[in-house]
A = this chain, B = another copy of it.
Amino acid sequence: MTPHVIIYTRRVGRWRPDARARLERAAVELFVEQGFATTTVPQITARAGLTTRTFFRHFADKREVLFAGDEIPDLAARLLADAPATLDPATLIVEGLRTVAETRFEGRRAQILQKRDIVRSDASLCERDLRKRAGLQEAVRAGFLSRGVADLTAALLAEISVTLLYVALDEWLDQDGDRPLFEVVLDTLDALRTTLSSFPPGPQRRPRAGHPQDAIADHTGSARPAGPSNA
């Protein structure tokens, strides 16, 4: 007894090839057509001519079909691990961002824009996207730690790296121009330097009396003053 009906024809092997790619295509199509939350895995697999079980053999969960494949954290880790020990962190980050921008983003703007729209439409996809950013950040941090950078500095370098990449990426996607992403990254770096320079320097530490807070109204109350609240 053949298993049900063979939907697909012209198979070279036992099954039609490229099951994973078919699932990706079917999923993105359905997400665009009817939204992420409302499309079910059976719908995806039906369109791809596969079973639900097979979907979860290729993707850990329904969201992962949109995130599979990027290895930017791996790339960052390799760049940091293999670069000459003499290079300073700032140069490493700027040139690493150049590499990432040119090899992972440049020329794929329309595709990335479509995916961003899908991701923004669903809270769980946003969360997954944030985890992706956190993964890159952690890779950068670990890379600098391995290079002997101090804990706090490594954490800040990682924060700066992902801030530059993601803020610039949003700029790059929002303005329809065709400027290279890396140029936007450099502009963002300049803007970050300018913005941070407006912060008061160290000397203003611990102004216990008459500090500027007095100019700000009190808003600390409102919610459960002494309850077992959270972090």
Contact = CB atoms under 8 A, between A and B. Distances in A.
A38 interface: no
A91 B96 CA distance: 33
Interface residues of A, number: 87
B130 A216 contact: no
A145 interface: no
Interface stretch (A3-11, A40-48, A189-197): A189-197
Given A99-B219, A131-B127, A223-B71, A196 B193 contact: yes
Given A131-B123, A200-B91, A231 B105 contact: yes
Contacts of A196: 160, 192-193, 196
A152 B231 CA distance: 29
A23 interface: no
A146 interface: no
A71 B222 contact: yes
A152 B188 contact: yes
Interface string A98-110: 1100111100100
Contacts of A190: 201-202
